[in-house]
Amino acid sequence: MNILTPQQMSACDQETISTAVPEILLMEAAARGTAEYAVEIINKEFADCSISPNKLKITILIGKGNNGGDGLAAARILKNWGYDPLIILACAQSDLTGINQENLALAKYYDLLIKEFSQISAENFSEIIQSSNLIIDALLGTGIKGKLRGNFKQIIALINKNRTKQNQQLLAVDIPSGINGFDGSIAGQALQADYTATMAAYKRGLLLYPGRDYSGQIKIIEIGIKPTTIKQKSDGLQLFTENDALKLLPRRRNDGHKGSFGKVGILAGSVGMTGAAYFSSRAAIKTGSGLVYLLTTAEVEQTVASQLPEIVGHILKAKSGHIAETALTDILEFSSQLDVLAVGPGLGQSKAIKEIITALLKNLKLPLIIDADGINAITDLNDLRDYQGELLLTPHPGEFAHLIGKDIADIEKQRIEIARNFASQYNLNLILKGAATVIAGKNQTAFLNQTGCNGMATAGSGDVLTGIVTALIGQGVSVFEAAALAVYLHGRAGENSALKLSDFSLTASNIIDNLGSLFKKLEIESC
């Protein structure tokens, strides 16, 4: 599902208007979709309310741009459906132009109550907001730049101050006012929506934090722009959905054997970090791997095998509780029988690990996943570009900042662009973890993930992801698609865990425990 920038959405609008559909028809479709969503919200949120639906107090806040035009038309449609919304204009009526003036005239014709904000006292406006059951925000669209000014700043401040928690919902048109449609940043302050009706496609600012926290439940409103137009104007960024997961989930043959479902290797663990080896190995097993080989020290192997007898241990030479540089030849030879190798969880940051990572990048050809301490051990970025097989890196922002020499804050501001450019520049696949995880491929292809919860910010969670993606690659899913699918599954399993236990109590083990029921659900839905 395409994700657009404000500029790309504008290009879709302009092409549609210039070739086929009058602008007023696009606006009418947007308004009708918004009104229908408003009724859906009313029926859902106020079904048990003692107030009859047509007696609910609906306040629609109108700006002077196209977003405001959508709101004016939606107000008229709601009026014709038996509701009685109040329109509050952020500007003077005379400031409205073009189609918005036409929609204002129609609103007057249908006897809607219209007020200008400048003619309402702050006390009266506050009372209106406090008594409103449904507030529809059609003040500002996705094109906002810089800080809020004038009436918009005052209106948003008063709404935020006077919103009530009971019997009140806020529906944003296209994007909550105050949220930047490109990067999700806040223009000083923003409206907190419970629901957002966004036109034609997802906007980046709705899905990137902090904007995502302000957007509530998002519904795409079809307004008449052709899917081919959206695809042509997009830059290839996609939202990974359940439909994508169902298409990519490996199909298990009835006549398969353990070799059919992947011989995967996990190079992990050291003294004091046994858990990383355990979590990544167990996650790979629970994601369907036929054979999971744990390449590690004797001490780590003994501990993990006592809790996870399904692994096949391969003991490496060690020094002071860490894998020794002298184990390199053994690792290279053993890897020849594997379908995929994951390297990094809990390895520590010794000089030997740096030498091993460098040698693996120079000598292996099989799909290689580098995570955690493995990423920190990379000494030359050119080794990544020169790798002869498929390569996947899975850093969190701190590891990525260390790798590329940038501040975490700078990465978070442009996580999509930086991830895509890095993957393209070094001819690899990348999972840049975070609240809005980016999965970037070699050719500027990219997915944005929206599954997961804050409870997953816990020790071992990243190791679980490594195990999941390793297992999927071992079962024949392409590296880029396996990365996207793994992130989605990891997040869904985390969400399901939190529903049962709460975010406070979620652990890495809980995520693994919920993989089985998630796979069962997806298998049923794919039938």
Total Cβ atoms within 10 A of residue 107: 22
Q: Smallest Cα–Cα separation from 391: which of 330, 460, 478? A: 478
Total Cβ atoms within 10 A of residue 59: 22
Same domain assignment for residues 186 and 142: yes
Same domain assignment for residues 398 and 250: yes
Same domain assignment for residues 212 and 279: no
Query: CA distances (Å), 175 to each of 141, 186, 255, 487, in order?
Result: 6, 12, 51, 26
**Residue 146 above 90 pLDDT?**
no
Q: What is the pLDDT of residues 163-180, one digit of tens each?
A: 987 889 999 999 999 999
Question: Where a domain ends, among 231, 253, 276?
Answer: 231
Q: Smallest Cα–Cα separation from 30: which of 8, 13, 15, 55? A: 13
pLDDT: is 166 or 402 the higher one? Answer: 402
Range of the structural domain that residue 73 is part of:
3-7+16-231
Q: Does 434 count as an annotated binding residue?
A: yes
Same domain assignment for residues 408 and 442: yes
Q: Does 2 count as an annotated binding residue?
A: no
In a domain, 237, yes or no: no
Q: With beta carbons less than 8 A apart as the criterion, state whether 170 and 135 touch.
A: yes
Give the mean pLDDT of 388-402. Answer: 98
Q: Smallest Cα–Cα separation from 87: which of 408, 357, 96, 395? A: 96
Q: What is the pLDDT of residues 34-87, one digit of tens each?
A: 999 999 999 999 987 777 777 899 999 999 999 999 999 999 999 999 999 999
Q: Does 482 count as an annotated binding residue?
A: no
Q: How many residues does the chain have?
A: 527
What is the structure's pLDDT at 178?
A: 97
Query: Rounded to two decimals, what is the model's pTM?
Result: 0.96
Same domain assignment for residues 360 and 449: yes
What is the structure's pLDDT at 198?
A: 99
- The DSSP string of 490-515 is HHHHHHHHHHHH-GGG--HHHHHHTH
Q: Does 491 count as an annotated binding residue?
A: no
CA–CA–CA angle 406, 408, 414 (5° rounding): 85
- For 465, residues 6+ apart whose C-beta sits below 8 A from its C-beta are 283, 371, 394, 431, 433, 486, 487, 490
List beta partners, residue 237. Answer: 446
What is the structure's pLDDT at 166?
A: 83
CATH label of the domain that carries residue 108: 3.40.50.10260
Give the mean pLDDT of 403-411. Answer: 97
Q: Are strands 195-199 and 169-173 parallel, antiparallel or unpaired?
A: parallel
Q: Does 436 count as an annotated binding residue?
A: yes
- The DSSP string of 35-69 is HHHHHHHHHHHSTT-SS-GGGS-EEEEE-SSHHHH
Q: Does 496 count as an annotated binding residue?
A: no
Q: Does 467 count as an annotated binding residue?
A: no
Q: Does 82 count as an annotated binding residue?
A: no
Q: What is the pLDDT of residues 197-225, one digit of tens each?
A: 999 999 999 999 999 999 999 999 999 99
Q: Does 236 count as an annotated binding residue?
A: no
What is the structure's pLDDT at 94?
A: 96
In a domain, 491, yes or no: yes
**Residue 527 above 90 pLDDT?**
no
In a domain, 155, yes or no: yes
Q: Does 346 count as an annotated binding residue?
A: yes
Same domain assignment for residues 138 and 267: no
**Residue 196 above 80 pLDDT?**
yes
Question: Where a domain ends, among 205, 231, 257?
Answer: 231
SS3 of residue 11 by DSSP: helix
In a domain, 380, yes or no: yes
Query: CA distances (Å), 61 to each of 19, 127, 376, 453, 477, in order?
Result: 32, 15, 50, 32, 48
Same domain assignment for residues 29 and 154: yes
In a domain, 144, yes or no: yes
pLDDT band per the 50, 70, 90 thresholds, residue 143: confident
Same domain assignment for residues 102 and 152: yes
The whole-angstrom distance between residue 24's C-alpha and the CA centroid of its chain comes to 33
Q: Smallest Cα–Cα separation from 389: which of 422, 415, 363, 366? A: 366
Q: Does 65 count as an annotated binding residue?
A: no
Same domain assignment for residues 217 and 250: no
Q: Does 463 count as an annotated binding residue?
A: yes
Query: Tokens at residue 72, please?
Result: 């004016």
Same domain assignment for residues 204 and 288: no
Q: With beta carbons less than 8 A apart as the criterion, state whether 300 and 322 touch.
A: no
In a domain, 136, yes or no: yes
Instruction: Say how far apart CA 472 and CA 482 lie, in whole Å.
Output: 6
Q: Does 509 count as an annotated binding residue?
A: no
Total Cβ atoms within 10 A of residue 248: 18
Q: Does 143 count as an annotated binding residue?
A: yes
Number of domains into which the chain is organized: 2
What is the structure's pLDDT at 56?
A: 92
Residue 186, classified by CB atoms within 10 Å of its CB into exposed (0-12), middle (13-18) or buried (19+), is middle
SS3 of residue 461 by DSSP: helix
Q: Does 386 count as an annotated binding residue?
A: no
Q: What is the pLDDT of residues 6-45, one digit of tens each?
A: 999 999 999 999 998 999 999 999 999 999 999 999 999 9
- The DSSP string of 366-432 is S-EEE-THHHHT---HHHHHT-SS-EEE---HHHHHHHHT--HHHHHHTHHHHHHHHHHHTT-EEEE
Q: Smallest Cα–Cα separation from 101: which of 79, 73, 120, 78? A: 73
Instruction: Say how far apart CA 482 and CA 487 lie, in whole Å.
Output: 8
Q: Does 66 count as an annotated binding residue?
A: yes
Give the mean pLDDT of 258-269. Answer: 96
In a domain, 496, yes or no: yes
Query: CA distances (Å), 362 to each of 317, 358, 388, 393, 430, in order?
Result: 21, 6, 8, 16, 19
In a domain, 236, yes or no: no
Q: What is the pLDDT of residues 92-107, one digit of tens each?
A: 999 999 999 999 999 9
Q: Does 503 count as an annotated binding residue?
A: no
Q: Are strands 217-221 and 237-239 parallel, antiparallel or unpaired?
A: unpaired
Q: What is the pLDDT of residues 479-506, one digit of tens each?
A: 999 999 999 999 999 999 999 999 999 9
Q: Does 108 count as an annotated binding residue?
A: no
SS3 of residue 221 by DSSP: strand
Same domain assignment for residues 157 and 100: yes
Q: Does 394 count as an annotated binding residue?
A: no
Instruction: Say how far apart CA 299 and CA 445 lie, in whole Å.
Output: 42
Q: What is the pLDDT of residues 462-478, one digit of tens each?
A: 999 999 999 999 999 99
Question: Where a domain ends, among 201, 231, 261?
Answer: 231
Q: Does 462 count as an annotated binding residue?
A: yes
Q: Does 194 count as an annotated binding residue?
A: no
Same domain assignment for residues 190 and 310: no
Q: Does 459 count as an annotated binding residue?
A: no
Q: With beta carbons less than 8 A apart as the criterion, state whether 107 and 77 touch.
A: no
Instruction: Say how far apart CA 67 and CA 61 lie, in whole Å.
Output: 10
User: What is the strand order of the sheet 391-393 is part of?
Assistant: 237-239, 446-448, 438-440, 429-432, 391-393, 368-370, 340-343, 263-267, 291-296, 312-315
Instruction: Say how far apart CA 30 and CA 141 lie, in whole Å.
Output: 13
CATH label of the domain that carries residue 262: 3.40.1190.20
Q: Does 244 count as an annotated binding residue?
A: no
What is the structure's pLDDT at 58?
A: 98
